[in-house]
Amino acid sequence: MHIAVDVGGTFTDLVVHREDGQPRGYKSLTTPADLTDGVLEGLRLVADDHACCLSELLARTKRFCFGTTTATNAVLEGKAARTVLITTRGFRETLLIREGGRPDSYDMKAVFPKPYIPRSLTFEVTERIAYDGRIIEPLDEGSVSEAIERSRQAGAEAIAVSLLWSIANADHERRVGEMIEQALPDMPFSLSHRVNPCVREYRRTSATALDASLKPVVIESIRRLEGRLATHGFTGTLSYVTSNGGQTSTREILNRPVYLCFSGPSAAPEAGRRFSDIESIGGGNVITTDMGGTSFDVSIVTGGRIPMHREGTIAGHVFGVPSVEVHTIGAGGGSIARVDSGGLVHVGPESAGASPGPACYGKGGVRPTVTDANLVSGSLGDTLTAGGGVALSRDLARAAIREHVGDPLGMSESEAAALIRVGCEQNMVVAIEDLTVKRGVDPREYIMVAGGSAAGLHAVAIARELGIGTVLVPPMTGVLSAFGILTGNISFNFGESLFTTSARFDFERVNKLLASLERDARAYLERMNIDERDQRLHYTCEARYADQVWQLTLTLPDRRVADAAALDTLVEAFHCLHETRYAVRSETDPVEITEWNVQAIGQLEDVDFPELTPDDRIATPIGRRRSFLRELDTHVNVPVLQGERLPLEQEFEGPVFIEDPLTTIVVNPGARVRLSRFGSYIIDLDA
């Protein structure tokens, strides 16, 4: 048995791959005070469903995959360790100056966060290395000892070390690390050339600062999880989901915890692509959404390729490691609605979370949320099936909406609830447009895969706004990221900076570096006990035209750049990539390559969805809910169908509600829905 867990802001999602090959999803409420409590409560739900105790369940579990918000939340909530930065003399302001640009070049009032490590905790050492690795000024170990002592006196809980051009020659950084170990043996520290070996000084330093500050927090969290699982009988393999969507071991995460940033959402794009392939629709063009209780995550897959980037930020600080490109906004079932002084309704990004939760949960929440609006509008029933079953109070939801939205705007509860829903949906439409329309991508050429426990309530309305013709709601929709974790592969990145240009290409150094990275990747896969036949290596480089500021990630045509012909192939591949991305190619300009990377991939056991067997099921409504439909501007008694009892491949016209064990699906007027033989709900909006 294999178990995957994704800890979200409101719910903890679990997917179990049972011995019979059938995956099954579960949800429990997240416990912010101690995330492991929510994980264990979810495991108890699984154990009850399998008619066994928790210890028996974990004893049968061979692999436990964990996606955690520990790292992300520690940064967002300011709960990371007190960290100092040791840097080259004269470069104390690197985190303050940043890169000089603005996310929006038209926003002249952009507010940047304070430096992640303040100047008062930044200490300089005397040394200087040139861009080509030459030592201009030797390391003054006396200045290093002084910086370490000042770190101790400042009450440092972790140390980040980022020296100028350590990516070209890491000798000085390594020596600083050795001296920290000698002087402060129990002090966690991070070296920039190991964390993020990129050319950009700010990004390398920012990633290293984040990494160091997370080590004490992540160490404590991992030890607590491992200890509690072991106490209840788990002896299998524990792995963690990284920002690149793959899984890795405790050892790798403890060495580089910055790879845990956004570990859960990174798995959703692979799940969306997989379900699209299973149903053979979309042609590899998939917009995957994941709407939970706190956030709305969106990613776009084009031609079957999951996009990667290094632009990831947390609270405005770049963490810069290879990551699946996922755009996240504060829009979920728990997003709080409010009316500003000008009479405008805002939904999110503040969330009621798991505690106190929406007003209708009856746990102390008094402000209206999207879940309250869905309940008042009639889209939701009186019981939330997730988390073992939660009774919802329609009266409490009405009271919250009336007080905070309805009365201030002089409208009825139904109208106010509809307005909250529209506001949330518009936020999600804009998030999708950021990844599509604003980049010249037509969303009408894609299908939407709707994931998350709240996605089914809004997916059709969002798709219709964007002109998307097909919405796919997969059988694991309520636990989409957890399913992506379960089906993901072992993966970790190994890279180093080495500058060269197509005009004067250094074949010897490049191929020597690629061989070294390949050895590191193979050794990693061996440590992860991946059989040789299941090992895959993916070779990439960071390339640009001469004098460009930004690089593109380019896949290498082969394991090595053996000769001039291989170099020509590589350069032509870059021209094509640049033309695809920017509609421009400049064949007369040399191509510069700044960094080389090898991704180690270990393919794990696949998870198949068996086809459902047609039977004589009849879709008899289990009830009707009086609902306010914005399209019709009136209340309608909408039939409610039980998803598990729908006949296969039979179409049903909206409006209709479908109750699934992990979500509720709203099929709006003018749309049609059918249950596929693989258990997905396919909604056609072209009708």
pLDDT tens figures, 465-496: 999 999 999 988 888 888 888 888 888 889 99
Q: What is the pLDDT of residue 656?
A: 92
Peptide bond into 655 cis (omega under 30): yes
Q: Which residues of 385-406 are buried (b: 16+ CB within 10 A; e: fewer)?
A: bbbeebebbbebbbbbbbebbb
> H or E stretch including 554?
strand 552-555
Mean pLDDT of the residues in the chain: 89
Look at residue 453 and tell me whether its pLDDT is greater than 90.
Answer: no
* Digit-coded pLDDT (tens) for 539-552: 999 999 998 888 89
Lowest mean pLDDT among 152-156, 158-162, 339-343, 519-523: 339-343
pTM for this prediction: 0.85
**What is the rounded CA–CA span in Å between residue 463 and residue 179?**
57
Number of residues assigned to the chain: 687
**What is the rounded CA–CA span in Å between residue 371 and residue 392?**
10
Please spell the DSSP secondary structure of 421-465, one letter per residue: HHHHHHHHHHHHHHHTGGGT--GGGSEEEEESTTHHHHHHHHHHH
Output the six-digit token pair for 399: 């009271």
* Digit-coded pLDDT (tens) for 561-600: 999 999 999 999 999 999 988 889 999 999 999 999 999 9
